Structure 1
């Protein structure tokens, strides 16, 4: 949103915040949100539909290009449900392939990351280039004369960049990533994602369904209970605004309690020069459906992903990207900043196993959401669209009510 258009949009956002702060009831035109069936968090049949209809067809963050610093660099990811190699080819392109030899399924790599000029299956020695072409088979004489090397290239995975961020999609027919995120793409231009360097990445695991944790990052209704001594001290959750975009993507913006507030733990750190005043002075959180959450700040951006490890186990991956970062000589404030961020994450994780016990028990019938929690309902509406409503048992569906509130740009 360049120039005047961005300024006008942000003035509108500020006016919306003022309205939210002062209202005494939900907006008159906003519907009461129907209950979300509790079975969506525990029912094996529904979770299988979710896996096949949504996770296997979604754009999912895989890593940062700094993890591929030179031609021949590669890393392995298992977050798509099957092991996938992400590699930088000798010409500098980023490609992705299943870690599966086309002979008898042997692995091409066994480590988590490395550098190579190609891939060789450790089982029978079939050899491939970094862009997946089969170049040699052991004992070529034992194969038919018309054996077609081209038909035995590695099985590729859709791989596209959002600046310096690498996304994968197991669906070969998926809409291109930039088109898929729609109006969000223009807003993300201000972040100069292509210039940001990887600062840190670490993961955390807990015993709950992935949606239990995702829910917590789609609302700020919990701030006064969970983050009383951290985030709630400077954010005004009652003035939070929400923007719903097509395909389940969304934005949440929560103002600081004081307009002039600046995080003292970032003073003197390099800043993204093009970041808008609205994003710089408010807590704005972008969500790329289904599991990517990114609340940018001028001096650095945490990016979170929530990965299902099973019906009752979740991994949270937390990474940071920032401008002008030197990995060999990081800014001295980064250690404290990441430690403070980790403290907030642990606050969000603390009740997850107990919530999982509750949703599996007879006392949980469903989720009764309020207006502040509308992003959660929107997430579930999109899930049903991706699965296909007709495939979902009627008692596990959500009633679609939010279509009139989706902004299509």
Structure 2
């Protein structure tokens, strides 16, 4: 048996890449991954468990602080399921509320964004401050004398920042975001997320379960088939390394085929000065569980989110951030760069509806994953933990086998 197959992978990232490139099989201590039941993609009862136990309790990206340029600015976030108003208060704090008047549930805003000094319900005129406090009701005389305004404040949503990125969580008892992402937080400091500006954001919809697309962005096993004329030309998928962190978060790093290769479409663009050499010279992709993927580059960072719009419909949101970006005078390379990125996204989206047809049919029993695809299996293990293994029907559970490979520091 070869040395590469019997030895443990080295700790250093570059040495790990070389080890991965030369191995003749999976590491000897790595388990054969059990099949992931196909019903997890289509079973209505399981998808309800997933929604209640995971999506409604997860930290989810809502937007960028540039969308709130001044006190009183607000935008409406619809992707998380229930429409949420994200606003900057007069004091400059960022808060989030359900777009729901506490009188009879009418929406407080009907546009996608705006600026105001408060929110007034268009149905019966109840008025709220940007801090969510109820300040006035129409025809106060018709309410009881002891009507308590403080008991009718807007329903708040947990809202925290990761640099300039705004995340929401519908669970009031959720662990703070920075603590939740664990060891990843230290790695992300090099990106100076708090300084990056919003360049572009657009969305795409396709007919498939959200996990069909999420799976594709947790591995590079598909590069030679799907991205033959794009990404596969410069990335060496056989040398890809994976780091699994607690709570389902992870990192994937894939080296360039040629040492020192630089994307010619980014030459001359402003760079993040503190980005590490490893991240600058390799294709590194961070995943914040469950649906946030971020592959940074020195000259700009794309953010991808995958949103369930139903059991077989997904919205993909693609956002770009960059250092020293001037919205009024963008760098001339951005137009071409975003078009090239969009071309790669369409390559990933192209088979999604057909895959959905297959997983709904009798020919699909489950997924047989290999060592390269271990991030997908880890994603499903975490899903069962969040739902509660005891709540998952036995025939739809995944067997937990990856705990020994989680990096906790």
Identify whether the pair has TM-score above 0.5, normalized to the shorter chain: yes
Residue of structure 2 equivalent to 1:303: 303
Q: CA deviation at 1:231?
A: 0.3
What residue number does 2:381 align with? 381
Q: Does residue 29 of structure 2 align to residue 29 of structure 1?
A: yes
**Structure 1 equivalent of residue 135 of structure 2:** 135
* Cα displacement string for residues 200-236 of structure 1 (whole angstroms, at most 9, x for unaligned residues): 0000000000000000000000000000000000000
| Counterpart in the other structure of 2:220 | 220
Query: Counterpart of 1:65?
Result: 65
Find the aligned partners of 1:143 and 1:357 in 2 and give their Cα distance. 55
Question: How far off is 1:381 after superposition?
Answer: 0.1
User: What secondary structure does 1:344 align onto?
Assistant: helix
* Residue 124 (structure 1) aligned with residue 110 (structure 2): no
The answer for the alignment partner of 1:181 in structure 2 is: 181
Q: Does 1:340 align with 2:340?
A: yes
Deviation by residue 1:35-58 (Cα, 9 ceiling, x = unmatched): 000000000000000000000000
Change (3 A) 1:394 1:173: same
Distance in 2 between the 1:110 and 1:235 partners?
Answer: 45
Spell out, residue by residue over 1:231-288, the C-alpha distance to the aligned partner (whole angstroms, 9 max, x if none). Answer: 0000000000000000000000000011110000000000000000000000000000
Residue of structure 1 in register with 2:391 after alignment: 391
- Aligned equivalents of 2:258, 2:123: Cα separation in 1: 62
Instruction: Report the counterpart of residue 48 of structure 1 in structure 2.
Output: 48
User: CA offsets, 1:297-341, max 9 Å, x none?
Assistant: 000000000000000000000000000000000000000000000
Could you tell me which residue of structure 2 aligns to residue 99 of structure 1?
Answer: 99
SS state of the match for residue 340, structure 1? helix
Distance 2:362 2:212 in 1: 17
Q: CA deviation at 1:80?
A: 1.8
After superposition, what is the alpha-carbon deviation per residue over 1:346-377, rounded to whole angstroms, capped at 9, x for unaligned? 00000000000000111101000000000000
Q: What secondary structure sits across from 1:342 in the alignment?
A: helix
CA RMSD in angstroms comes to 0.8
2:3 maps to: none
Unpaired runs of 5+ residues, structure 2, are 1-9
Task: State the SS of the aligned residue for 2:383.
Answer: helix
Distance 1:318 1:11 in 2: 33
SS in 1 for 2:69: coil
Contact 2:20-2:241 at 8 Å conserved across structures: yes
- Residue 80 of structure 2 contacts residue 307 of structure 2 at CA under 8 Å; is this kept in 1? no
2:153 pairs with 1:153: yes
Task: State the match for 1:113 in structure 2.
Answer: 113
- Which residue in 2 is equivalent to 1:291? 291
Take 2:20 and 2:259, find their aligned partners in 1: how far apart are those partners?
16
Specify whether residues 11 and 378 from structure 1 end up closer, same or farther in structure 2 by C-alpha distance, changes over 3 A only. closer
Are residue 266 (structure 1) and residue 258 (structure 2) matched? no
Report the counterpart of residue 18 of structure 1 in structure 2.
Answer: 18
Matched with 1:326 is: 326
CA distance in 2, matches of 1:273, 1:282: 16
Q: Tell me how far apart the structure 1 counterparts of residues 198 and 80 of structure 2 sit (CA, whole Å).
A: 22
Separation in 1 of the partners of 2:88 and 2:347? 37
For residues 306 and 103 of structure 1, what CA distance do their matches in structure 2 show? 33
Distance in 2, Cα, partners of 1:307 & 1:11:
35
- Answering whether residue 144 of structure 2 is matched by residue 144 of structure 1, we say yes
Q: Which residue of 2 aligns with 1:255?
A: 255
Give 1:11 shift.
7.7
How many Å apart are 1:155 and its aligned residue? 0.2
Question: How many aligned residue pairs are there?
Answer: 400
Q: CA deviation at 1:146?
A: 1.0
Q: Give the corresponding residue for 1:7.
A: none
* Number of the residue aligned with 1:5: none
| Correspondence for 2:236 | 236
Cα deviation code 1:152-176 (max 9, x no counterpart): 0000000000000000000000000
3-state SS, counterpart of residue 12 of structure 2: helix
Q: Does 70-79 or 184-193 show the bigger shift?
A: 70-79
Rounded to whole Å, the distance in 2 between the matches of 1:366 and 1:165 is 36
Separation of aligned partners in 2, 1:83 and 1:285: 29
1:336, 1:91 → 2: CA distance?
A: 39
Structure 1 gaps, min length 5: 1-9
